Structure formats: structure tokens, C-alpha cells
Amino acid sequence: MKERIGVLGCGWLGLGLAQSYVESGFIVHGSRQSKKDADSLQEQGIHGFDVQIRENHVSGNLSEFLYGVSRLFLTFPPGLRQNPKRNFVAVIQQLLPHVHKSKVKEVVFTSSTGVYGPEQGLVTPSIVPQPKTESGRQLFEVENILLSQDGFSTQIVRLGGLLGGDRHPVKQLAKLPVVDNPQAPINLIHKADAIGLLRYLADQSPWQSIYNGVAPWHPTKQDFYEQAAKEMQLPLPKFAEESGNTNKIVTDPQLESLGYAFFEPKLGLDQAL
């Protein structure tokens, strides 16, 4: 009997992850924040539940969502862009007692490479993050809270910038007056690999561990986005003349030794740079 998978946060990435498990024959519980959106998950073969987790309370069907789930993916973002005052740490602390009361044995948290500072240079999961943003600081604190829990095992996957399908950062960059840090290395991952990596690590890799989910290719921001704009027939972004100080390159030597092969190592480009 296959285990029951829970995906808390069926947004752009979470929905794709949930769908991939459905296609593999798993029973999948997925959450969204309204009943209407949760009901729409049924069309994808996902058991949908409306769940809202705030800093000071939980509402919706969280207990029903968690019922029977053994592996839980936390795929919802901190949300500080929309609400800079949000306390994401408190949100996770509201969730934890419910997880401990459930039969969940494994928790995968999709964190972000934003926990690393922009001037940390070459970073691997063994390098201590030096976050420079409030979102990065809170994510790093949540990582440590989850790794310290008894009762379930945890994997932290720090994903790079996400792209795939109709979602590509160059669409927004092309609209900006100027793009800063043109010589900064890119740290991105294609949606196909974000999903593939989350599943592969959960099945094949040690728990109580941190992984960096980034494609093993780091051209400069200017080189990559100019090529992407050409291939997508978009206006070329306008880049600042100053190269900037961002030198962060996110890698993870564990992925090769664990045997993960990237589906989109060139991040969807037709031509390599």
C-alpha cells in the first residue's frame, strides 16, 4: 500500500508536485486557502482541503488534511513580499502541534537560497547562511526549528529562483527601467527539477539534512537573461553599467554523489551560452 502524501500549499510549485504524485499512483492530500480553490483540486485527482494558518490561529480542515499522511511537504512561501510584517516563524509554530498529533513521520520544507547573503561567494549546504533580508532570516529560523523537532524526520531543500512553463523572470526584468547586478551569477532551478529533486531526495537521501536545489550552471545574470529574451522574442532587459557586488554561487556536491540527474540543466534555453 502506497503512503499518503500531503502537500501543504498547492500553489505553482506545490500543485505540480502533488500532480506528479497522483500520476505515480499515490493518494495525495493538497491544501489551498479557500474552499472553492480546495475543491478545484479534486479535478486533478488531489484530495483538496481548505487550510489557513495564521500567526495566532489555524482555521479550515487541517486535521482532516493531515489524517493518514505520512510524508508532508511544506510548499508555501513566507509571504513577506505581500505582507512585510508577517511573522512566518509564528505561522510554522502554529502548525507544529497539529503535525505532532498526526501520523506524519517525514517533513520536507521548501526553503530558499535567499537564506544566503548576496556576497557569500560559493556556498554549499555546509556553509552557515548570513541572510540579509527579513524573509531569509525567518526562513533560516524556520529551518532550525524544523530540524530540532522530535517525532518526525526533516529535509530542508533550499530552492533557487523558480522558472518553467509560462513563468520566467525575464518577463518581469524586461519591464524594468534597469536591472542591477548584471554580473551576478544566476542561481535558478526549473520547475521540472524542483519537483524531481524534492521527490528524489525524499526517497533516496538522508533525513535531518539540508540540500541546495539549484541547477549546476551559473552564467551571469546579463548573459542568461539576454539569451532568454532572444529565445522568447522579448525586449532585451536594460542592465546597469555597474557590475555590482553580488557574487553568490549556490551549489550542492551531494546531488551528484546521490545520483540525481537534472532534467533541465540549461534551464529551458535552446542554446547554451
Q: What angle do CA 239, 243, 247 make, to 5 degrees?
A: 120
- Provide the residue-wise pLDDT of the chain in tens; the chain has 273 residues: 578 999 999 999 999 999 999 999 999 999 999 999 999 999 999 999 999 999 999 999 999 999 999 999 999 989 888 888 899 999 999 999 999 999 999 999 999 999 999 999 999 999 999 999 999 999 999 999 999 999 999 999 999 999 998 899 999 998 999 999 999 999 999 999 999 999 999 999 999 999 999 999 999 999 999 999 999 999 999 999 999 899 999 999 999 999 999 999 999 998 766
Amino acid at 179: V
Q: Look at residue 79 in the predicted model and tell me its pLDDT.
A: 86
Single-letter residue type at 215: A
For residue 191 the three cell numbers come to 520547475
| The CATH number of the domain covering residues in 4-166+188-216+249-258 | 3.40.50.720
Annotated domain spans of the chain: 4-166+188-216+249-258
pLDDT of residue 272: 65
Dist. CA 111–CA 117, nearest whole Å = 14
So what's the pLDDT on residue 80?
83
Q: Which long-range contacts (CB under 8 A, 24 or more apart) does 206-209 make?
A: 207/106, 207/153, 207/154, 207/155, 208/147, 208/153, 208/154, 208/155, 209/125, 209/155, 209/156
Q: Which cell numbers hold the place of 42? A: 479534486
Residue 273: the pLDDT is 63
